[in-house]
Chain A
Amino acid sequence: MHGFANPARFLRLARWLMPVCLVAGIAIAFAALSWGLFVAPAERLQGQTVRIVYLHVPAAWLGMSGWMGIAAASFTELVWRHPLAGIAARACAVPGAVFTAICLITGSLWGRPAWGTWWVWDGRLTSMLVLLFLYFGWMALSQASEAADGGEGSGALRAPAIFGLVGAVNIPIIHYSVIWWNSQHQPPSITTGGSAMSGAFLWPLLIAMLGFTLIFAGVVMARMRAILANQQAEARLRRKAMAEGN
């Protein structure tokens, strides 16, 4: 657990793992999107509009995974006070929010031809919009508590960590919204019991999810490195200022 307590070990790992994730993720996502957009068949009722699924579903998956990342990091922060936990949570927030926004935008564009409307206030769409607002609120709280704390000490991490855990309640609500309640959005196609999606759509979709997940992991590592570098630079400036003051 504390193998990476020293950021130097994490930095050594991230230095080569980050570019590997980014390059492999971009290549795999590009291949999967090309497959989905140009090779995969049209759907029996939806026709060509089904192709937006190859962006919409990976974005939904990563929007929700991003918050699970914040929640897991928050738990680690609150229990073990792991020095990288707060940094990992901050690193997940922006990519998570971006993918949530992509999911909402592509879903809206898909809803117009498929359903006949850009937006409805059903359980799935509403809970996903709530997730986007949770990300905005979390980022604001994280910045505010850091500013209030002067960027030092774990007090800056406590409040966002509690918010991160409480906000995770929304994730199962998003998932079960289409099962618990009648909704405009259809129930999940891919479940642990199997797939209601034919293999011709399923394989490019799963590969696109893998590719975008690798991109997400690469971005999180890049942001963690940037935050650590920033902290080191600030600490150095402070030491220098103190030395000059003496």
Chain B
Amino acid sequence: MAIKAKHQRLVLLVIALVVLVGAALLAAWALRNQASYFYVPAEITANPPAPSRGVRLGGMVEKGSIKTMPDGVTIAFVVGDGKATVPVVFKGIVPSLFVEGSGVVAEGHMRPDGTFEADNLLAKHDEKYVPREMKDMTGEQARQVVAETK
């Protein structure tokens, strides 16, 4: 009995789609390191980029690490990812969401002394959305925010 044409088309198309998705997954796997927007501190410290090379460093601003230099416009802070930390200096205006304990992406280069000199800072906000007023929160979220801001 001959296979009905539409069944044949269905089988062929499903095979084609499986091959296509497989190819896409292979491509994404090959890109897994190249397509990242920044390096995390663990990658920077394990394999420091040459001082002449522009790179991006992303991570969390360590609590209590932001310090303003005597000139008043240069700030120093530490970026960490839980495994390693990198000291950063930046001269300029910081974005308003740049706060301790929050995410940051710094564009710049590594100095030979191991300090990251940033030319540009971008704030990164996390996936959590929490109201400003604590009274609007459930007990668990309020505890979470209190724990975060300590």
A169-B24, A200-B131, A200-B136 in contact; A182/B125 too (CB < 8 A)? Answer: no
A11 to B82 Cα, complex, angstroms: 59
| CB atoms of B37 and A187 under 8 A apart | no
List the one stretch of A13-21, A39-47, A90-98 in contact with chain B.
Answer: A39-47
| CB atoms of A173 and B127 under 8 A apart | no
A43-B132, A189-B127 in contact; A182/B36 too (CB < 8 A)? Answer: yes
Query: CB-CB contacts of A185-205 with B at 8 A, as 1s and 0s?
Result: 011110000001111111000
Query: CB-CB contacts of B108-138 with A at 8 A, as 1s and 0s?
Result: 0000000000000111111111111100111
B13 contacts which chain A residues (CB < 8 A)?
75, 78-79, 165
A196 to B126 Cα, complex, angstroms: 9
A182 to B36 Cα, complex, angstroms: 5
| CB atoms of B124 and A115 under 8 A apart | yes
A78-B9, A115-B97, A116-B121 in contact; A180/B32 too (CB < 8 A)? Answer: yes
B99 contacts which chain A residues (CB < 8 A)?
45
Please give the distance in Å from A145's CB to the nearest CB on chain B: 19
B6 at the A/B interface (Cβ < 8 Å)? yes
| CB atoms of B123 and A187 under 8 A apart | no
Report the interface size for chain A: residues with CB under 8 A from the other chain. Answer: 46
Interface hits, A157-179 → B, CB 8 Å: 165-166, 169, 172-173, 176-177
Contact of A181 among B20, B21, B36, B131 (CB under 8 A): B36
**Across the two chains, which residue of chain B brings its CB closest to A45?**
B97
B105 at the A/B interface (Cβ < 8 Å)? yes
| CB atoms of A187 and B127 under 8 A apart | yes
| CB atoms of A46 and B128 under 8 A apart | no
| CB atoms of A44 and B96 under 8 A apart | no
B48 at the A/B interface (Cβ < 8 Å)? no
B69 at the A/B interface (Cβ < 8 Å)? no
List the one stretch of A62-70, A117-125, A128-136, A230-238 in contact with chain B.
Answer: A117-125
| CB atoms of A182 and B58 under 8 A apart | yes
A113 at the A/B interface (Cβ < 8 Å)? yes
Q: Interface on B for A, CB 8 Å cutoff?
A: 6, 9-10, 13, 17, 20-21, 24, 28, 31-32, 35-40, 58, 94-99, 102-103, 105, 121-133, 136-138, 141, 145
